[in-house]
Amino acid sequence: MIDCRHGVGCVLLSLMLAGCASTSCDEPLSGDSCRDRQLLHQNDMLQAKLLVASGDMETHELASALLRRAESEDELGEVAFYQAILMIREGPQTDEVLSKLEDAAQQHQPYAVALLYKIWSEPFLVDEADPIRAEQYRADYAELDVAKSGYPSFEKALELVNGLVRTP
């Protein structure tokens, strides 16, 4: 059982569950099969998520390498989202972060949409809040399949991104 009182367990569980969907394989199983690539992609993403969630700056290089390797198989916007988190922690790269998050949001990555809401509502990373833009991201989140299913709720998604962008 994961202990959610301290936040870390909940963040890790949320991160792992967020990427459970996978693409289907139309290829027959053989040598370097589609299924093998799927499993390797899932492994790279799981390791990268754990490294990112740890907040340890010394693991950023390995997390970045895993994310780059997973990039070609990513259809969920996860790679761009986690790359943006690493960029936020490494310092001011606002244009690149926003670009990564927009790419992820276009792929319906719920945490990217929640983080874009945070950026424009607080403001965070930007000089000035944009309430209209922030509310558009909140509305976009409501249209995502995950929001319609109720998990993660918008509030839980914001809680998770707040934990990820907090300075370790």
- 126-144 pLDDT tens trace: 999 999 999 999 999 999 9
Rounded mean pLDDT of the chain? 84
Q: Could you tell me the two tokens for 101? A: 């998050």
Per-residue pLDDT, 27: 53
On whether residue 142 sits in a domain, the answer given is: yes
Residue 112 lies in a domain: yes
- The verdict on residue 39 lying in a domain is yes
- Note the pLDDT of residue 9: 43
Asked if the model's pLDDT at residue 11 lies above 80, the reply is: no
Confirm whether 143 is domain-assigned.
Answer: yes
pLDDT in tens, 144-168: 998 888 888 999 999 999 999 986 6
The domain tally of the chain equals 1
- Domain holding 63, by residue range, is 8-14+34-165
Dump pLDDT digits (tens) for 104-124: 999 999 999 999 999 999 999
Residues 6+ away with beta carbon under 8 Å from 19:
42, 45, 46, 49, 76, 78
- Asked, for residue 29, whether it belongs to a domain, the answer is no
Question: Can the peptide bond before residue 152 be classed as cis, meaning omega within 30 degrees of 0?
Answer: yes
pTM for the full predicted model? 0.82
Query: For residues 103 and 81, what is the distance between their CA atoms, to the nearest angstrom?
Result: 8
Q: Give the Cβ contact number of residue 15 at 10 Å.
A: 22
